[in-house]
Structure 1
Amino acid sequence: MADSTAPTDLSDLPEPSGEQPSGCLAGDSGLLPAELRAWMHLLAAAGAVEQQLRARVKDALGISHDEFLIVCLLADQPGGGLRMTRIAELLGRPKTRLTYQVACLQHAGLVTKGSVCGDRRGIEVTLTEKARRLLNDASPPLAHAITDAVTRALGPEQRAALCGLLPGIADDDQQPAESPDRSAP
């Protein structure tokens, strides 16, 4: 599959036809219930964002998109570090693949690896100052690319379709923030 910075065209995905009282979107335009249709819209939007970011991340940071995800995870940590096993869990990646990606980041001078205190088998990955500087410089245009991709990929109807993932979300918008236990039926 060729890399493209053009946003994904979502016109092939069915549009919702209206709302049901439960907050789900109606529409018998296919076999999929609103939740699955919304999930497909979400995946398509995520694909559009990835397409926008792939080339930009490579140009700005000199790393792959998958390596960029690791850098972002680490940047979002208060201490700047995470155990390898936790990174693998959060990204849904096999540990062997993650080991290779972290080695590439380490070779580029963007992360360091160290043992976890009290666990000689545990490895913690931490961002370097170089990575922090590069990410700080690259973040504004990358954030703009994400906004642009989502705006182009999802029209108003498709954004509404995402409510199908959480049928009660429309009802929750009507309730005050201090509402009691929302987990109760």
Structure 2
Amino acid sequence: MTATDPAMTALAQGWSALSLLHDRIESHIERALQAGHGLSVREYSLLEVLSRQHDGEGGHLQMHQVAHAVALSKSATTRLVTRLEDRGLLQRYLCPTDRRGIYTDVTEAGAKLLAEARPTNERALREALDQAAEDPELAPLARAVEDLNLVS
């Protein structure tokens, strides 16, 4: 069944096409990041989110905030943090103002790997969107992604 199957409702067709676009983009980026840097998409996303933390008010994310930002459960995020910590890419420490809180920071090695992987991620995303734009089912969604301007 394709996203344009007449038996599907318009809403279901849209959802199916969006899911297909997401899967194609994520798979393309995954292959590029794995081949070039030994990172999964989730690992890259986690490093990216954590790299934007700062020392100012509200600058460090709690684990549930990190989980939300990378679209994983809290337990899956914790396991991912542990894997990256074991690789020396992240470090955890107690919150200086609340000993119950644990923060996670990107290490120097993690920042270096992220900087090396960022162009690969951007290139793979560009390639995946260009490929999607050639598919009549996905072209409108690819254009919509191109048109998003989420910078605030």
TM-score normalised by the chain length of structure 2: 0.74
Q: Displacement, 1:65? A: 2.8
Matched letter for residue 15 of structure 2: W
Which of the pair is proportionally richer in helix? 2
Which residue of structure 2 lines up, in the alignment, with residue 158 of structure 1? 138
Q: 1:39 to 1:72 in 2, by over 3 A?
A: farther
Q: Displacement, 1:37? A: 2.5
Does the residue aligned with 2:102 lie in a helix, a strand or coil?
strand
Select the residue among 124, 131, 134 that pairs with 2:113.
134
Q: Displacement, 1:157? A: 5.7
Per-residue CA deviation, residues 29-48 of structure 1 (Å, 9 max, x unaligned), is: 33322x44233222211111
**Residues in 2 aligned to 1:133 and 1:163: alpha-carbon distance in whole angstroms:** 32
Select the residue among 52, 65, 79 that pairs with 2:28.
52
Select the residue among 144, 152, 156 that pairs with 2:123.
144
Per-residue CA deviation, residues 59-83 of structure 1 (Å, 9 max, x unaligned), is: 33323332222112223x2428422
Does the Cα contact within 8 Å between 1:83 and 1:123 map onto a contact in 2?
Answer: yes
Select the residue among 44, 50, 53 that pairs with 1:68.
44
Which residue of structure 2 lines up, in the alignment, with residue 4 of structure 1? none
Which residue of structure 2 lines up, in the alignment, with residue 19 of structure 1? none
Does the Cα contact within 8 Å between 2:53 and 2:61 map onto a contact in 1?
Answer: no
Which residue of structure 1 lines up, in the alignment, with residue 9 of structure 2? 32
Which residue of structure 2 lines up, in the alignment, with residue 88 of structure 1? 67
Matched letter for residue 140 of structure 2: A
Does the residue aligned with 1:13 lie in a helix, a strand or coil?
coil
Per-residue CA deviation, residues 80-111 of structure 1 (Å, 9 max, x unaligned), is: 84221211223332322222211110111111
Does the Cα contact within 8 Å between 1:38 and 1:162 map onto a contact in 2?
Answer: no
Identity of aligned residues (%): 24
Gapped runs of 5+ residues in structure 1? Answer: 1-10, 16-28, 165-185
**Residues in 1 aligned to 2:82 and 2:110: alpha-carbon distance in whole angstroms:** 14
Q: 1:36 to 1:65 in 2, by over 3 A?
A: same
Number of equivalent positions = 139
Which of the pair is proportionally richer in strand? 1
Does the residue aligned with 2:99 lie in a helix, a strand or coil?
strand
**Residues in 2 aligned to 1:100 and 1:138: alpha-carbon distance in whole angstroms:** 21
Select the residue among 4, 21, 25 that pairs with 1:14.
4
Per-residue CA deviation, residues 123-177 of structure 1 (Å, 9 max, x unaligned), is: 111111222222212211221111111221244663436899xxxxxxxxxxxxx
Higher relative contact order structure (alpha carbons within 8 Å, sequence separation ≥ 6): 1
TM-score normalised by the chain length of structure 1: 0.63
**Residues in 2 aligned to 1:161 and 1:60: alpha-carbon distance in whole angstroms:** 28
Aligned-residue RMSD, C-alpha: 2.8
Gapped runs of 5+ residues in structure 2? Answer: 145-152
